[in-house]
């Protein structure tokens, strides 16, 4: 038997009747007798995946009393820290992948002139990943800055089918002006392709699924598929069977598991649509038919789609806006962290008046929101790509551009990263910064770790050291 360099291309697609399904990484994609890491496909695969998540309204731990009681940031600094009192306690199983970044400031979100006072909710999201102060306008002359997800996508996202994707959970379809002289678009997205190009975010999981898996054809075809409850995989069964004949046993299992996960995501979307068309009373009647009423179900669906996109290498960059400022949403599932949190409206609860009981209710909501992240971490950790799992290769960012929501300030911001960014992040580390450290310092470090070399980003003063040194300390 002669060793040849015949192999399956990393960009192999299975196509049929408006359907395009990319493949996960398979051993059969590695050319025989070739150093995979030195091939173009191998080098591209080593690029870290990025998910930048935003949750609005800050956190209980950013308030003075919440800070003193470690409601967000643990007391321990360096590698010795305890998550149990904090809103991060559900991240304990992934502590080795966790980098906590405490005590940063978002100067860009603050009022820079008298007319801007009071407009914090209406400019915060635009500053989160851009660290650029938005122009106060209700017209079309909007102006902020390029966000870090788009800086990364511009540099390294062009060799994937989709350079980046932007997802959201709350409605973001308000036009014109919102309040305090700010255009609604500043609240509607965290992703900016340039200082004047805010990118729209997708709320409907069906729309994300269709974009990832090329569900085309005519509107009649799509309507018929939905009516028949048919799967996109039905259109590529023949190609799947043919491909499996070329694969070894491990690859056949890997391909089968991947296609099963795609089918399961599709089935769940179909179930949501069927329920929402049934006439049953909805908690969010204004939401698109593909949007679940349940927050965690919606978030989990989006995270499943993120994992599938990363596994098939359709894109390596996501911005994920998980809330919208001034949201009055209620989260019944937050009862597991505080019974009173289950009936507490998000925005009103964030105005806790510095009362300890109110802060604990708000912390319950914060903890519930953070508890969504382990779901994505588990998904990525369970996907092997070459000699690493996808959590090893990813940088998941979770944070808020606001600190103490009761005061509408932007100090002591909640922020952490999850994953090892393909070796760029060591994890298991809590970074406590001096007062007034710019949030931009963290983004400068993130860009450098992702391979985008910069000496400065907006008002950054220095790159932040995000990996533990040989000596660690513990703060009281």
pLDDT digit string (tens) for 400-458?
Answer: 999 999 999 999 999 999 999 999 999 999 999 999 999 999 999 999 999 999 999 99
In this structure, the chain runs to a length of 476
| Residue 223: predicted pLDDT | 62
What phi and psi values does residue 125 have, to the nearest 5 degrees?
-60, -35
What phi and psi values does residue 2 have, to the nearest 5 degrees?
-95, 140
Structure tokens at 453: 């070399």
446: left (phi over 0), alpha (psi -120 to 50) or beta: alpha
| Residue 8: predicted pLDDT | 84
| Residue 230: predicted pLDDT | 75
**Cβ neighbours around 229 below 10 Å, total:** 12
CA dihedral 331, 333, 338, 344 (to 10 degrees): 20
* Rounded Cα gap, residues 350 and 358, in angstroms: 9
| Residue 224: predicted pLDDT | 62
| Residue 471: predicted pLDDT | 40
| Contact call for residues 404 and 63 (beta carbons, < 8 A) | yes
* Rounded Cα gap, residues 418 and 398, in angstroms: 8
| Residue 1: predicted pLDDT | 27
| Contact call for residues 88 and 70 (beta carbons, < 8 A) | no
pLDDT digit string (tens) for 233-276?
Answer: 988 888 999 999 889 999 999 999 999 999 999 999 999 999 99
Measure the CA angle with vertex 68, ends 62 and 72; round to 5°: 45
Query: What is the domain partition of the chain in residue ranges?
Result: 51-203+298-307+316-476
Query: Taking the mean position of all CA atoms in its chain, how far away is CA 101?
Result: 17
Sign of torsion, CA 114 399 357 361?
positive
* Rounded Cα gap, residues 110 and 127, in angstroms: 10
Query: Taking the mean position of all CA atoms in its chain, how far away is CA 207?
Result: 17
Structure tokens at 416: 């952490």
* Rounded Cα gap, residues 302 and 265, in angstroms: 9
pLDDT by residue, tens only, the chain of 476 residues:
233 345 788 888 888 767 889 999 998 888 765 665 666 667 777 899 999 999 999 999 999 999 999 999 999 999 999 999 999 999 999 999 999 999 999 999 999 999 999 999 999 999 999 999 999 999 999 999 999 999 999 999 988 999 999 999 998 876 678 899 999 999 999 999 999 999 999 999 999 999 999 865 566 666 665 666 678 898 888 899 999 988 999 999 999 999 999 999 999 999 999 999 999 999 888 899 999 999 999 999 999 999 999 999 999 999 999 999 999 999 999 999 999 999 999 999 999 999 999 999 999 999 999 999 999 999 999 999 988 999 999 999 999 999 999 999 999 999 999 999 999 999 999 999 999 999 999 999 999 999 999 999 999 999 999 998 744 444 43
| Residue 475: predicted pLDDT | 43
* Rounded Cα gap, residues 403 and 110, in angstroms: 11
| Residue 77: predicted pLDDT | 96
Contacts of 257 (CB under 8 A, 6+ apart): none
51-203+298-307+316-476 placed in CATH 3.40.720: yes
């Amino acid at each position: 038997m002669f060793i040849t360099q015949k192999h399956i291309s990393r960009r192999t697609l299975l196509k049929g009747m408006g359907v395009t399904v990319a493949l996960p990484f398979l051993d059969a994609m590695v050319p025989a007798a070739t150093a995979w890491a030195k091939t173009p496909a191998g080098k591209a695969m080593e690029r870290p995946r990025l998910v930048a998540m935003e949750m609005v309204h800050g956190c209980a731990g950013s308030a003075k009393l919440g800070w003193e009681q470690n409601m967000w940031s643990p007391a321990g600094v360096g590698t010795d820290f305890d998550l149990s009192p904090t809103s991060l306690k559900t991240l304990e199983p992934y502590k080795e992948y966790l980098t906590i970044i405490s005590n940063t400031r978002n100067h860009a979100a603050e009022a820079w002139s008298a007319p801007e006072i009071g407009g914090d909710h209406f400019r915060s999201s635009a500053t989160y990943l851009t660290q650029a102060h938005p122009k106060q306008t209700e017209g079309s002359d909007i102006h902020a800055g390029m966000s870090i997800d788009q800086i990364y996508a511009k540099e390294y996202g062009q060799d994937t089918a989709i350079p980046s994707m932007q997802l959201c959970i709350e409605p973001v379809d308000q036009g014109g002006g919102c309040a305090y002289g700010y255009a609604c678009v500043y609240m509607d997205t965290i992703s900016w392709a340039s200082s004047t190009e805010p990118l729209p975010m997708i709320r409907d999981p069906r729309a994300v699924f269709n974009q990832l898996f090329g569900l085309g054809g005519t509107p009649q075809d799509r309507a018929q598929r939905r009516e028949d409850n048919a799967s996109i995989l039905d259109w590529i069964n023949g190609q799947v069977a043919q491909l499996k004949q070329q694969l070894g046993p491990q690859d056949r299992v890997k391909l089968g598991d991947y296609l099963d996960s795609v089918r399961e995501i599709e089935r769940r979307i179909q179930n949501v649509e069927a329920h929402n068309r049934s006439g049953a009373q909805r908690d969010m009647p204004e939401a698109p038919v593909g949007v679940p009423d349940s927050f965690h179900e919606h978030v989990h669906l989006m995270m499943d789609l993120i994992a599938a996109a990363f596994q098939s290498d359709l894109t390596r960059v996501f911005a994920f806006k998980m809330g919208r400022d001034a949201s009055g949403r209620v989260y019944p599932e937050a009862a597991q962290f505080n019974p009173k949190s289950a009936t507490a409206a998000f925005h009103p609860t964030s105005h806790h008046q510095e009362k300890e009981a109110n802060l604990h209710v708000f912390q319950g909501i914060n903890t519930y929101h953070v508890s969504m992240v382990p779901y994505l971490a588990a998904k990525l950790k369970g996907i092997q790509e070459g000699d690493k799992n996808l959590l090893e290769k990813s940088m998941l960012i979770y944070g808020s551009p606001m600190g103490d929501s009761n005061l509408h300030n932007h100090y002591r911001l909640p922020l952490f990263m999850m994953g090892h960014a393909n070796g760029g992040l060591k994890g298991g580390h809590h970074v406590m910064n001096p007062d007034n450290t710019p949030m931009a310092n963290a983004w400068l470090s993130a860009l450098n770790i992702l391979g985008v070399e910069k000496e400065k980003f907006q008002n950054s003063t220095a790159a932040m050291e995000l990996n533990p040194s040989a000596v660690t300390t513990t703060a009281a």
